[in-house]
Amino acid sequence: MPSKLYALSTSLYTLRSMEIRSPNKTMAVSGGKRSVGGELRSRYRRLWIYSVFFTAFVSLTPLGIMTWVNYTQYRKTLVAETDHLISRIASNSQRFIDGFLEERRAALSYVANRESYEDLCDQGKLSRIFLNMNESFGGLVDLGVIDADGGQRSYVGPYELKGKNYKDQDWFHEVCIRGIYVSDVFTGFRNVPHFVIAVRRDSGSHGELYVIRAAIDTEVLRRHVASLELRAASDAFLINHKGILQTPSRHKGGILDPCPIATPPFSPKTQVVETATTDGEPRILGYAYIPQSPFIFVVLKRPEDILQGWLRLRNEILWLFGVSVVLILAVVLASSTFLVNRIREAGRRRDEALHSIEYTNKLASIGRMAAVVAHEINNPLAVINENAGLLQDLIVVKKEPPEEDRLLRIAGAIRGSVERCSTITHRLLGFAKRMEPLTERISLGPLVEEVLGFHRKEAEYRSVSIQLAAPADLPIIESDRGQLQQVFLNILGNAFAAVDDGGRIDIGLRREDENTVALTIRDNGCGIPAEDIDRIFEPFFSTKGDYGTGLGLSITLGIVEKLGGTIEVQSEVGQGTSFTVRLPVTRRI
């Protein structure tokens, strides 16, 4: 992703240079017109979009991750705390009910072991025992002694149950088998919901078994369940293993009605699970099996009640996240706009400086050719001077008028020399002046010949051989004439600096493919060391010591890339250097 930003920012150089040089012009591209300034604005807009997107992504991603982690962790913590609360309620109720039943089982066992069967059958003694147990523990409705045939031999309580036979009752068979038994809630002969605790013993005199049975009021259990601090929508009750309510439910039925949920599976420990009522409503279920009894304590809570606090916290988290996103986006938008504007301004100033450097480099190239140009102009000036002197002699010395033909020849020689000087100076001025960027159709052969015109005298003076090979079928290209002149002049200048007197420079033009032409300038000069090849296009790097600025090839590379082309260099020390410039036939922006 950062490479995209880098590529986009560096690609702005070409369009920025065009905008500086020609802010109000258009450039021909494939038969149509495209605004350079519009393309530049489009690219800066994309740079701004990428900057906003990547900065916002980097800023908001950690915030989003942190918010999500806090969101899930807070929810897990709240659910764990709620599960712990439900588990604690169920566990505490389990211990309370188990302790309640154990006290009465122990009391009945104590009475059965301490008192004889005959004493227990004594109505007066049984009444005293019943009063003492109720004073000590409470919760007993009545107390009775039942013989082996199921007949109640003695009874203390509010109901007329003496003489009743329990041989067909389920609880009687269970206590005969187990020895101690706690029944689930039933109505029995009383027609009132209750449960019993019964203890079996063998009579000492006759060797027959008998049972001491105490009926327990379910109100004790109901009051305990009602004392639990639960929300109005929550529920708690006892059920037996068959799923029958042993205490009334707040919302789903009374005692001995079917339980509103399926009987949970046995577990020796308190469990908290998710379940649903018979009506399909989701519930959080906490339950605990009461040891040595048919009872299961159950707590039901609605998920929305549990998560009510979480929903408030969630809304606060989301609100904070939303505000943070808005603030971050505002800062990102403002900073990206500021930075892109600064980049635009810095790019404009940089490109103005580079453009000035390009022009200065062109003038430096002209300065290096000044001696050659001066020598070339000196010859026609000498001709002018001689012919002017001759004309003066003809007019002053001779008495008779000069011959007309001779005067015309002298004037023609002077005029020809003046035209030659004019051609040289116009060529030099045309190359030196600042030219607006313009895409035009160019024939590379004549253009190279024009550039070579600056070096012909130097080549003659130094005996440097220059060979130009330009095929006749070379296509006309679309490019910038002034910038191509500077490219070829820079490379040829380096070639002349590299060769010794009597050296050789070969220039070749060829068509590489349908949309590419190539120009190769090869010399047999000193060459470039291998360690410097990769650095020759760097700004201010020069192999000429104090005589080079190190800007010529850097500027040349920038111009060629702006024109849509490439430069390739091959060199060997002592053998020479070859520069190949590849240019598109049809220029595209």
Q: What are 486-504's pLDDT values in tens digits?
A: 888 888 888 888 898 889 9
Q: What is the mean pLDDT of residues 166-187?
A: 89
Q: What is the mean pLDDT of residues 84-107?
A: 91
Q: Residues of the chain with pLDDT > 90: what percent?
A: 21
Query: What per-residue confidence (pLDDT) applies to 252?
Result: 80
- pLDDT value at 8 more than 50: no
Which positions ≥6 away from 332 have C-beta within 8 Å? 52, 55, 56, 59
Q: What's the angle, vertex CA 357, arms to CA 356 and CA 360, rounded to 5? A: 85
Placement of tokens 């190539």 in the chain: 518
List the domains of the chain with CATH numbers.
Answer: 1-114+310-350 (no CATH), 115-217 (3.30.450.20), 222-306 (3.30.450.20), 369-433 (1.10.287), 437-589 (3.30.565.10)
Q: What is the mean pLDDT of residues 262-274?
A: 92
Retrieve residue 3's tokens. 């490479």
pLDDT digits (tens, 9 = 90+) for 232-254: 778 899 999 999 999 998 888 88
Please give the Cα distance from 438 to 434 (Å, whole number).
12
Q: What is the mean pLDDT of residues 175-195?
A: 89
Query: What per-residue confidence (pLDDT) applies to 351?
Result: 72
Q: Are 486 and 560 in contact (CB under 8 A)?
A: no
**What's the whole-number average pLDDT of the chain?**
80
Q: Are 491 and 528 in contact (CB under 8 A)?
A: no
The structure's pTM equals: 0.50
Query: What per-residue confidence (pLDDT) applies to 19?
Result: 45
Q: What is the mean pLDDT of residues 381-400?
A: 64
pLDDT digits (tens, 9 = 90+) for 472-483: 888 999 888 878
State the DSSP code for 245. B
Alpha helices by DSSP H, listed for 115-191, are 117-121, 123-136, 170-178
Q: Are 266 and 154 in contact (CB under 8 A)?
A: no
